[in-house]
Amino acid sequence: MQIVNELRPQIKIVNTVTTADLKQKVDIGSFNEYEHLHSDLDLYRCGYVKDDKMIGRVTIFASGKMISVGTKSPEKSFKELKKAIKILKDHGLIKSKRIKPQVRNIVANTDFKQKLDIEKLARSMPKSMYEPEQFPALVHRIMTGGVALIFSSGKVVIAGCKTFEELNQAHYHLKKYFS
């Protein structure tokens, strides 16, 4: 199986969600005592790691589970998880740990640069739903994974993909309906 590392130039990633597990407990109650760490346990049962160089932020749960959000690529998301581990380790909150990051969701935008007849597409695209009173876009489930939010302007948000290959396939799949 060939791994696709190139994303079509028409596709722009806006968010990557990646998870990992430290496999150890973390004292999130003490986060506010340290630089680059924050928690508001009255509001959420987690803590956050973010330094000046991080693009997104990493959420840490007391169980040791981690979620990185806000980066524009899986690689950057992995780096931010590792950066969070370094910060936690430097503050003595965890032991050194290797992690196995897993991409859970990549959200991307694309623009087909043409006006689309959403009502007509809703009738011709299987696994689609269009309720203009509820939401102005056609919601289309893509067979290869992911969901597309298709707007009449020709702009599309693709969510739920985990690889560049899935994003590329989603784009190709959608292009067939818009030509």
What is the model's pTM? 0.89
Q: Is the pLDDT of residue 1 over 90?
A: no
Sign of CA dihedral 43, 46, 50, 55: negative
Q: Is the pLDDT of residue 3 over 70?
A: no
Residue 71 corresponds to which tokens in the numbers above? 């980066």
Tell me 137's DSSP state: S
Domain segments of the chain: what residues?
18-104, 112-178
Asked whether 169 and 144 are in contact (CB, 8 A), the reply is yes
CATH architecture under which domain 112-178 falls? 2-Layer Sandwich (3.30)
Reference 56, options 18, 11, 110; nearest CA is 18
Phi, psi values for residue 66, rounded to 5°: -130, 145
Range 18-104 has CATH code 3.30.310.10: yes
CA-CA distance, 37 to 64, in Å (whole number)?
15
pLDDT in tens, 90-146: 999 999 889 999 999 999 999 999 999 999 999 999 999 999 999 999 999 998 789
Same fold, 18-104 and 112-178: yes
pLDDT in tens, 155-168: 999 999 999 999 99
